[in-house]
Amino acid sequence: SQLEKGGYPHFMLKEIYEQPKTIMDCIRGRINVEGNNVVLSGVIDNKGKFINASRIIIVACGTSWHAGLIGEHLIEEFCRIPVEVEYASEFRYRDPVITDTDIVIAISQSGETADTLAAVELAKSKGAFIYGICNAVGSSIARATDSGSYIHVGPEIGVASTKAFTGQVTVLSMLALTIAREKGTITKEKFESMVKHLQELPEKLKKVLEKTDDIKELSKIFTYAHNFIYLGRGYNYPAALEGALKLKEISYIHAEGYPAAEMKHGPIALIDNEMPVVAIATTDRIYEKTISNIQEIKARKGKVIAIVTEGDTLVCNIADYCIEVPETVEEYAPIVTSVPLQLLAYFIAVNKCRDVDQPRNLAKSVTVE
C-alpha cells in the first residue's frame, strides 16, 4: 500500500533511499564506542576456524553473488586467505572439493533460496564450517549454518535487491577486517582507516542521493536504448555486474557488465554511437588504466556515462556524462558507486512504465530449483 511505501511511488525507490540508515543499522553495535575497532561476534566466536581456514568458498545467487565477488577481493586483500565465489546452483551439482578446513560463506537476502540452501547442506555433509550472511532473521539458511551475521537492513520488498546488496558488502567488509585483525594480516594504519571510512559511509550515501534529480534527467536520454554495457575494474567490477543486473531486471533492457580491460578481447566489437557505456571510474590504484579503457570506447564513438570521484576532471573531460560520488577508500567504492546505478535503472524502468517492484518472470525469493 501507499502507506507502507512511506510516500515513495515504489518500494524500490524507498529502499534505495533507506541506504544511509540501513548501512548505519548494519554497522551499529559492531563498532566500539571509541570508533576505532570493529567486532563481528560470529567471527570472534569462531576465531580459530577463521584464522586457520585454508580456503573460503562463497556460495550465493543473483545480487548476493555479486556481493560475494566483492567479499573475495576484501578477504584476499586483508586476510590473505584464498577465496572462491560460486553460483550456488553450479556448486551443488559438480561434486566440489570441500574439506573440513574450508569455510563456506552463504550469502542470501531472503535466506530461502533453494540452490543456496542446497549448497549449504552439501558443504555441511563434507565437514566444512558454514557461515551465513542473511537478512531474514530465522530464515532456513540462517538456521542451517553453524554461525553467521545478519545484515540488519530491514525487510526488502522490491524484487530488485538494493539495500540488501550494500548491507551484504558492509558485513563482508567487517568480516574481512575482523579476521585480518585477529590474524595480524592488516597494518594498524590501514585497519583504523578502514574503520573510520566505514562510519562515514552513511553520510556519503546521503550525498549520492542528492544526485537523484540529475540521474532522473540523464535517464530520459537513454530510455530507448536497446543495449547497455557497464564497465568497472577491481572492486568496481562487481558493481558493474550489479548495475547491469538492476537494469535488466526492471527495465528489460539488455545489459552486460564487463571488467573494463576485457573489452578488447571481444565485446568492444559491440561499440558504436548507439551503445551507452556506463563506466565506473572512481580514483583507485588502477584509475589511469580505466581512463585508457574509456578512451578506447570514445574512439569507437560509444556514449559514456561515467561514475567518478567528486572533483574528477580527467574522466569528465572525455566522458559524455558524469555522475560524481564522494571519495572513499577503494575497498568501499562499490557501496558508493552502486547507488547511482540503482537510481539509473530505476528511472529508466519508470520511464518505460515497467512494473518496478514486481518485474515480469522474477520472484523475490526463488524457493524452487
Q: Is 168 or 328 the residue whose CB approaches ligand G6P more closely?
A: 168
| 364 assigned to active site | yes
Cα gap 330→169, rounded to integer Å: 13
Using rule CB under 6 A, residue 178 touches ligand G6P: no
Q: Which residue from 26, 59, 61, 198 is in contact with ligand G6P, where contact means CB under 6 A? A: 61
Q: Which residue from 20, 50, 56, 64 is in contact with ligand G6P, where contact means CB under 6 A? A: 64
Cα gap 103→100, rounded to integer Å: 8
Using rule CB under 6 A, residue 139 touches ligand G6P: no
Least Cβ distance, residue 355 to ligand G6P (angstroms) = 14
Q: Is the dihedral of CA 190, 194, 195, 196 positive or negative?
A: positive
In contact, 43 and 87? CB cutoff 8 Å = no
Q: For ligand G6P, which residue has the nearest CB?
A: 62
Using rule CB under 6 A, residue 251 touches ligand G6P: no
Least Cβ distance, residue 364 to ligand G6P (angstroms) = 6
Least Cβ distance, residue 58 to ligand G6P (angstroms) = 12
Q: What is the 3-state secondary structure (H, E, C) of 176-232?
A: HHHHHHHHCCCCHHHHHHHHHHHHHHHHHHHHHHCCHHHHHHHHHHHCCCCEEEEEE
Using rule CB under 6 A, residue 309 touches ligand G6P: no
Q: Is 63 or 170 the residue whose CB approaches ligand G6P more closely?
A: 63
Q: Which of residues 141-160 bind ligand G6P (CB under 6 A)?
A: 159
Give long-range contacts, CB 8 A cutoff, 24+ apart: 222-225. Answer: 222/276, 222/305, 222/348, 223/348, 223/351, 223/352, 225/253, 225/274, 225/276
Using rule CB under 6 A, residue 109 touches ligand G6P: yes
Quick one: cell of 345? 535503472
- Residues in contact with ligand G6P, counted by CB under 6 A, come to a total of 15
Using rule CB under 6 A, residue 31 touches ligand G6P: no
In contact, 56 and 83? CB cutoff 8 Å = yes
**Cα three-residue angle 348-350-353, rounded to 5 degrees:** 115
Using rule CB under 6 A, residue 172 touches ligand G6P: no
Q: Which residues are catalytic?
A: 364
Sites of contact with ligand G6P (CB under 6 A): 61-64, 108-110, 113, 116, 159, 161, 362, 364-366
